[in-house]
Amino acid sequence: MKFLLASSSQYRAELLKKLGIDFTQFSPNIDESSQKNENARHLSVRLSILKALEAAKHFPEQTIIASDQTAEVTTGANSGSQQHSHQPSYILGKPHIQVNAIEQLTNLSGNSALFYTGLCLLTPVSNLPSTIQSTLSDLPDLSISTLHKFLSTLENLVEEDSQNSLKNNECLITLKLNHEELTKQYYCQFLVDIYKVTFRKLNQQSIENYVTKEQPLDCAGSFKSEGLGIALFESMRGDDPNSLIGLPLIKLCSCLNKIGYTVV
């Protein structure tokens, strides 16, 4: 089975290498802007699916691994719950420039943020063992014409259950390939991993020193938890610390098992 990581991120590539998977990389070009009234959880899953589908148009025979991360900041909310509170909240994106990174960390000082890491594993049905193909018949089969309607109602399909996992997180998608009249059916698994970070009270000098040293300009939240960013935290809570870096490996292994690929 051939794998493709639909991301140019060196951080995600390093994480995926931990699993010993042989893969190539491709950076899909999609519109990553949020929709009206879209929350961070929904955005991370929707963009993960769109990245995977865009990559599949260029590499139709490969199994696509796609991920996207967003963050939601709730000011003044440092409670232990991961549920949304009634405090004002907003989506936090990548800063891209230093002044934005400093502003993000200034706003995060003394506050908590929920980091949503979406994951999509898109596998050509024809590449699956027949024993697995036979189990997919009851899944919804979406054409590209119905896909956008599906994505617009995705929030109803990604609500958390009591184990912080997702319900109804799979479907079939029939995709028209680029410059061809051919279509191909894919088995799509999608989910989100949630990680909560509470930041220490940070002074301006510490924030500026950190941004200058580590330049976390391509990271949502303006930090690298695998590096000096750990010094900014008061606490971290979640199931998989890899998801905070950009790829939820524990859930990815579960998805791989469902397509008959075992890591160990």
Residues acting as catalytic residues: 68
Question: Residue 78: which of 116, 112, 106, 41 has the closest Cα?
Answer: 112
Q: 3-class SS at 178? A: coil
| Unique residue bearing structure tokens 């991920």 | 67
User: What whole-number distance in Å separates Cα of residue 29 and Cα of residue 95?
Assistant: 19
Q: 3-class SS at 69? A: strand
Amino acid at 219: C
Name the β-bridge partners of 89.
74
Sign of the alpha-carbon torsion through 248, 192, 164, 70: positive
Q: Is the CB of residue 113 less than 8 Å from the CB of residue 124?
A: no
User: What whole-number distance in Å separates Cα of residue 235 and Cα of residue 192?
Assistant: 21
Return the DSSP state at 201: P
